[in-house]
Structure 1
Amino acid sequence: MKQQKLLSLIRQAIEEYHMLEDGDRVAVGVSGGKDSLTLLYAMRQLQRFYPKNFELSAITCNVGFEGMDFTGVSDFCDSLKIPYEQVDTKIAEIVFQENPEIRPCSLCAKLRKGAMYKQLAELGINKIAYAHNKDDFIETALMSLIYEGRFYAFPPMTVLPEAGVTVIRPMMYVPEKGVANFVVEQGIQIVKNACPVDGSTKREYARQLMEQINRETPGAKDRMMHAIVNGRFSDWPG
């Protein structure tokens, strides 16, 4: 995917759902994976010409897996002249040693968000941008159907008054394959995920299932995304 197309899709989402306002202080949640690094790069480029002025920074929650090294993320932020914060935690120990009977992904996500939101409040940042792409939206909806018996996907924007922050998802129209191609073209170095359950989760099952469906029925992904955007979910912006 070319940079112009990437920025166009991100800007489309931002403007359709009014994700940015003048004076916003936005932090991109950076895991070190291809999606979050692409979003960080794109937001930096967008910042140069977008009509609404916003500050930009990056934040990483280090959950404490052995071997995780975010030096590359820090260097990438330096190259973009973006302030970077790393929040060190013991979430891995809490999830896999203290609570092994609880589903690790949901507990880990909850603890990560709590740690980051606390840091964002201290920094006076009012919005955090997550790098959920188009495929993530589709897979979430499929998981909702399979495991919860309802049709739902996380919203493009969520106001969290108790945390004092608003979550935005500017990459909702960007396909995963486009991100993968962009990272290769730009030579962006990603950080390998050290989570022991990576690749064996319900989300991975949904991802593989959706790929099979789209192979057998070309265009299924696009039609499902259309259904999501027009789903009129109660917590989606009107």
Structure 2
Amino acid sequence: QIGKIIFEDRKESNPCSLCAKMRKGALNEAVKALGCNKVAYAHHKDDVIETMLLSLIFEGRFHTFSPKTYLDRMDLTVIRPLIFVDESDVIGFKNKYDLPVQKSPCPADGYTKREYAKNLLKSLNHEHPGAKERMFRAILNGNLKGWPIQLSIMNTEGNQNDKCK
């Protein structure tokens, strides 16, 4: 239904942002219909960094989503409990426990700015081992709105790949 609105009715040339808002809106409405006041999104560490890269490249600002967000119009709190978990660990967990994953039905899947950021992050971390962890540390230390001060003092060092080339 969302795909029809975006691609057929509105004929969006850059559909990702609107689609994400509509999908989250539908999820949030379902959560509220169940009588809940909190919802957990499955954003992981790579999502945090990819969003920051997209913001830097396409908006010219240092920004990413916060670990916890209160949506006052819906009286709903969004939490992101996986922001310290690497995507590879999420995939490993999924594989270990043979969890089902719904493939994206989006016709643009794999050809998005998000995919570009994912590939860029992978490439940067390959060329400069530890770059991903340093970018995450920059986010933690960046005084971003919605990021608790306690997080900014956390030390994410200790990664054996955290070396400059």
Which TM-score applies when normalising by structure 1? 0.60
SS in 1 for 2:39: strand
1:153 to 57, 64, 67: 64
Deviation at 1:123, TM superposition (A): 1.8
Cα displacement string for residues 187-229 of structure 1 (whole angstroms, at most 9, x for unaligned residues)? 2222222211110000100110111110110000001101101
Structure 2 Cα separation of the partners of residues 133 and 204 of structure 1: 15
Contact 2:67–2:146 under 8 Å retained in 1: no
Could you tell me which runs of 5 or more consecutive residues in structure 1 were left unpaired when the two chains were aligned.
Answer: 1-89
Structure 2 Cα separation of the partners of residues 217 and 93 of structure 1: 41
Contact 1:157–1:237 under 8 Å retained in 2: no
**Alignment of structure 1 residues 16-165 onto 2, 5 Å:** 90-165=1-76
CA 1:234 to 1:192, structure 2 compared with 1: closer, same or farther past 3 Å? closer
Could you tell me which runs of 5 or more consecutive residues in structure 2 were left unpaired when the two chains were aligned.
Answer: 150-165
Runs of 4+ that moved beyond 4 A? none
Structure 2 Cα separation of the partners of residues 92 and 225 of structure 1: 32
Deviation at 1:98, TM superposition (A): 0.7
What is aligned with 2:108? 197
1:216 to 127, 141, 146: 127
The answer to whether the aligner puts 1:206 opposite 2:117 as a matched pair is yes
Deviation at 1:102, TM superposition (A): 4.6
What is aligned with 2:161? none
Deviation at 1:100, TM superposition (A): 1.1
Q: Which moved more, 1:200-209 or 1:102-111?
A: 102-111
Contact 1:132–1:171 under 8 Å retained in 2: yes
Q: Counterpart amino acid of 1:227?
A: A
What is aligned with 2:90? 179
RMSD of aligned alpha carbons: 1.3
SS in 2 for 1:166: strand
Q: Counterpart amino acid of 1:109?
A: A
Structure 2 Cα separation of the partners of residues 162 and 174 of structure 1: 29
Contact 2:70–2:76 under 8 Å retained in 1: yes
Structure 1 Cα separation of the partners of residues 80 and 66 of structure 2: 8
SS in 2 for 1:158: strand
Deviation at 1:121, TM superposition (A): 2.1
Which TM-score applies when normalising by structure 2? 0.85
Larger relative CO (CA 8 A, sep 6+): 1 or 2?
A: 1
Structure 2 Cα separation of the partners of residues 125 and 102 of structure 1: 35
CA 1:119 to 1:187, structure 2 compared with 1: closer, same or farther past 3 Å? closer
Structure 2 Cα separation of the partners of residues 235 and 184 of structure 1: 32
Q: Number of aligned residue pairs: give it.
A: 149
More strand by share: 1
